[in-house]
Each structure stands twice: as C-alpha cells, then as structure tokens.
Amino acid sequence: MGNLEELFTSVRSQFPALTQLVHGKKLVYLDSGATTLKPQSVIDRISHFYSYETSNVHRGAHYLGDVATGHFEAARQKVADFLGASQSEEIIFARGTTEGVNLVANSWGLSNLKAGDEILITVMEHHGNIVPWQMVAEKVGAKVVAADIHDNGELNLEDFKSKLSAKTKLVAFTASSNVLGTNTDVKLLTRLAHEAGAKVLVDGAQIVSQLPVNVQDMDCDFFVFSAHKLFGPFGFGAVYGKKAILDQMPPYQGGGSMISKVTIEKTTFNDVPTRFEAGTPHVEGAVGLHAALDFVEKIGLDKIHAYEMEILKSATEKLLAIPDVKIFGTSSNKGAILSFNLKGAHHSDVAQILDQEGVAVRAGHHCTQPLMARLGVPGTVRASFSVYNNHEDIDALVKAVAKAREMLL
Ligand code: PLP
C-alpha cells in the first residue's frame, strides 16, 4: 500500500472541503455516492472560465465566443475519449444521469415503444432509471419488468434471462448499484439483451469514478452519467448513444441551437448531437467536467480502483467487527460503498449520531424504494468512499458507529 498511500495523501490535499470542521470535529466525508467533493483544479478551472472566458457558445461573432465554443467542444471530445466512443458526435450534453435517461426514454422510447412491449430493468435501479421508463410505458401501453437480485446483492442472472423475451424492446440497468455497490456484468447483460433483439441503456452514474469504461467494448446503445459524481460540477452530465441510433431519434426538447431552419409553419432540426441540446448549454459544466476528467486521468483509474478496494476491504472488516451491524451488498465485485444497519436502530438515528461526530453519511432509501422493499427494510445507512478517504476516516466511522450502538441499543 505504501506508494498508493502516499499518492492518495497528496490527492486528499487537493480537496479544500476537507480542511474544515463540522460540529467542531474534523470532516469525514463518506457521502461520495451522492456527490463527490471537488478538487481545487476543478474549482479553479470554473472560476477562470467565469472570470475570463464567459461567453455563449455556437453564436460566435467574436473572440470570446470562439474561445468558449472551443472549450465546450473540446470537453465533448474529452468525454468521448473517456468513454471510448468512436466520435464526439455520439456525446450529448445533458443535466446529468436523470435527464439523460429521460432524454432516451422520451426520444427513443416514445418513437420506438408500443403497446405490449416490455422494458426490462433490475430491482436495484435508482429511481432515475425507473420512473422515466414507467412514464413512457404508461403513455404507449408498454410494461416495465424488473429482474431480481440474490440476497448478497448480485443480479440474479437466471431471473434476468427468464424475463428477456421477444417483447423486450429495451433493457436499462445500472453498471454499479448506489446502495449495494454491486457491479453488474455490463458486457454479458448487453449481449443477452441484443440476442433478444432489445436495445440497451447503461446507467453509469456510479461506475465512471471507479473503473474504466469503454462503450464500444460494452457494445451498449446508450450510456449516461453525471459530472458531479466524478469530481465535476452539478447540473451537468452526458449521454452516449450509438451514432446510427441517435441519427434516427427525434429531438427531446425544442428551442434555439437544435434547429436547422425555422418558419412559422415548420422547423427542421439540426444534426446530432446539437439536435438534442436546445437552448444555451451549461458551458462551465462542460469546462468543469473536462478539468475533472483531467484530474481523474492524472491519478489513473487503475490506481483509484486499487486504492478504493483497499479502503473498502478494511472498512468492511472493521464495521463487521461491531456487533449488530448488518451490511447490505456483499458481492466480491462491488464499488466502495457500504450500506448497513444497526439491528434494532433506525438508520436516521444512526446517521444523526455519526453527523455529530463529523462523519457525513447518507441515510434513507437512497432513491431506490423497490430495492428497499426487496431487502425488507425502510432504509439503510450508506458510507461511500472516494479518492480522498483514508484509514483515519474508516476509524472515525467505526468509532462513531460503535458510539451509536451504545446510545441506541
Ligand atoms: N443512477 C444511480 C446509480 C445513481 O447513483 C444516481 C444518483 O445518485 C442517479 C442515477 C441519478 O443521478 P443524478 O441525480 O445525478 O441525475
């Protein structure tokens, strides 16, 4: 661990949020599954953009307009490279994962789904990858079906296969569960879905910060993620779509930029990806995401993954040593997320005590109510780890959970 420890000590020093006290205690931030903290390089890049480069994009009759447009499109290329897409035209900028799913559901979904069709998801999906499909299904008379998990939090492959049929037109699943941590076998599930004749959308919200992604290798048709879970800004993210499919899709929203020609009677639309980006875009979101990807690439996702696995292993062992702790999601292939409960204590009470100790975790249903129903609990406490966490953070978590146990049980 020696070298990794040193590297990540220096990484940690790049996060100004971690220099503050909360409730008089050192902040131990274990809520990266909800959003990651931002490194100084990303903060500085966005500040520089607002200070010196503010201008609208794609309107350009002047120097700054060209500068901003150049940065915006460079970010698109950067995202394409990061995801292994074959061209930057396959990258649509959106508000994040949720808007990405809504875009695909409304554009591809409304024009391709019909009564009797099925959309296959999994029971561990985030509401962002459930509700948009239900809304579209209701409009066209299609049905949302969910594959089950095993008790250890892994996808039940037999159940998944049994629910794939000629009726299945789209399979939408997470690459990594925000509650259980489980990483799914994206390549396998995609192949099975394609063999059944369905298109595939991968929810990449929790995978992009922990493992390299290659959409061509995965062969998925759509892939969505949010910048804010990847050290980047809020309100920004991207949708990858295979160019041939995007070319056939109608616009999601109407307005400026997405048009080719407008008359009062009729509008013709721009090419992909601009067709899907109505109105002034979140330019500093793109610029900030570019800086965030530079940050990640400078460390290396291989090192990030190795370090997070060390942290997860140690945190799991230490937490399980506390009596009455039950962990949800114990797959050997999982991200650095620990969802747990103290038997007999309410998750919110536990989180409140942890907060008083400076330990920031999330408690509740984590926008996965069907998963909570499957697990038979109203909610869990979730500690999620990232590049800036260290062994002291684990010890602080364990000490605070032991204290919560003493106080609540
Ligand atoms: N999918 C997963 C697996 C998530 O963890 C999240 C956020 O927690 C989302 C989707 C929704 O992401 P956003 O709120 O950034 O759109």
| The dihedral sign for the CA sequence 366, 227, 218, 116 | positive
* pLDDT tens for each residue of the chain, 409 residues long: 568 999 999 999 999 999 999 999 999 999 999 999 999 999 999 999 999 999 999 877 899 999 999 999 999 999 999 999 999 999 999 999 999 999 999 999 999 999 999 999 999 999 999 999 999 999 999 999 999 999 999 999 999 999 999 999 999 999 999 999 999 999 999 999 999 999 999 999 999 999 999 999 999 999 999 999 999 999 999 999 999 999 999 999 999 999 999 999 999 999 999 999 999 999 999 999 999 999 999 999 999 999 999 999 999 999 999 999 999 999 999 999 999 999 999 999 999 999 999 999 999 999 999 999 999 999 999 999 999 999 999 999 999 999 999 999 9
Here the tokens at position 307 are 């370090």
408 C-alpha vs ligand 1 centroid, how far in Å?
31
Compute the 3-state secondary structure of the chain and give helix, strand, coil in percent, each to the nearest 5.
45, 20, 35
Residue 90 · residue 114 · CB < 8 Å: no
Q: Is 226 in the pocket of ligand 1 (CB under 6 A)?
A: yes
Predicted TM-score (pTM) of the model is 0.98
Out of 35, 98, 228, give the residue to mutate to test ligand 1, the one with the largest number of ligand atoms within 8 Å of its CB: 98
The CATH number of the structural domain formed by 2-30+300-408 is 3.90.1150.10
Q: Is 210 in the pocket of ligand 1 (CB under 6 A)?
A: no
- The type of residue at 11 is V
Q: Is 98 in the pocket of ligand 1 (CB under 6 A)?
A: yes
Neighbours of 24 (CB within 10 A): 7
Here the tokens at position 48 are 């520089």
Residues of the chain with CATH 3.40.640.10: 44-297
pLDDT at 289: 98
Q: Which atom of ligand 1 is nearest to the CA of 367?
A: 8
**Please, how many CA atoms are within 13 Å of residue 353, restricted to the half-sphere of its CB?**
21
Here the tokens at position 112 are 């391709």
pLDDT at 58: 86
Catalytic residue IDs = 367
Decide: helix, strand or coil at residue 158. helix
Report the number of secondary-structure helices (H) and strands (E) in the chain: 15, 17
Residue 337 · residue 181 · CB < 8 Å: yes
Q: What is the 3-state secondary structure (H, E, C) of 335-354?
A: CCEEEEEECCCCHHHHHHHH
Instruction: Give dist(CA 382, CA 350) in Å, integer.
Output: 11
Residue 59, sorted as left (phi over 0), alpha (psi -120 to 50) or beta, turns out to be: alpha
Residue 60 · residue 69 · CB < 8 Å: yes
- The type of residue at 358 is G
Neighbours of 64 (CB within 10 A): 13
For tokens 């991200």, name the residue: 335
Q: Is 183 in the pocket of ligand 1 (CB under 6 A)?
A: no
In the chain, the N- to C-terminal Cα span, in Å, equals 36
Q: Which CATH class is domain 44-297?
A: alpha beta
Residues of the chain with CATH 3.90.1150.10: 2-30+300-408
One-character DSSP codes across 159-193: HHHHH--TTEEEEEEESB-TTT-BBP-HHHHHHHH
pLDDT at 2: 64
Give the H/E segment covering residue 144. Answer: strand 143-147
Alpha-helical (H) ranges within 59-185 are 63-83, 97-104, 110-112, 131-140, 157-163
Alpha-helical (H) ranges within 253-335 are 283-299, 301-320
The closest residue, in CA terms, to atom 6 on ligand 1 is: 205
Out of 176, 207, 230, 367, give the residue to mutate to test ligand 1, the one with the largest number of ligand atoms within 8 Å of its CB: 367
Calculate the alpha carbon distances from 285 to 17, 33, 338 in Å. 20, 19, 29
Instruction: Give dist(CA 259, CA 3) in Å, integer.
Output: 52
224 C-alpha vs ligand 1 centroid, how far in Å?
10
For tokens 């979101």, name the residue: 285
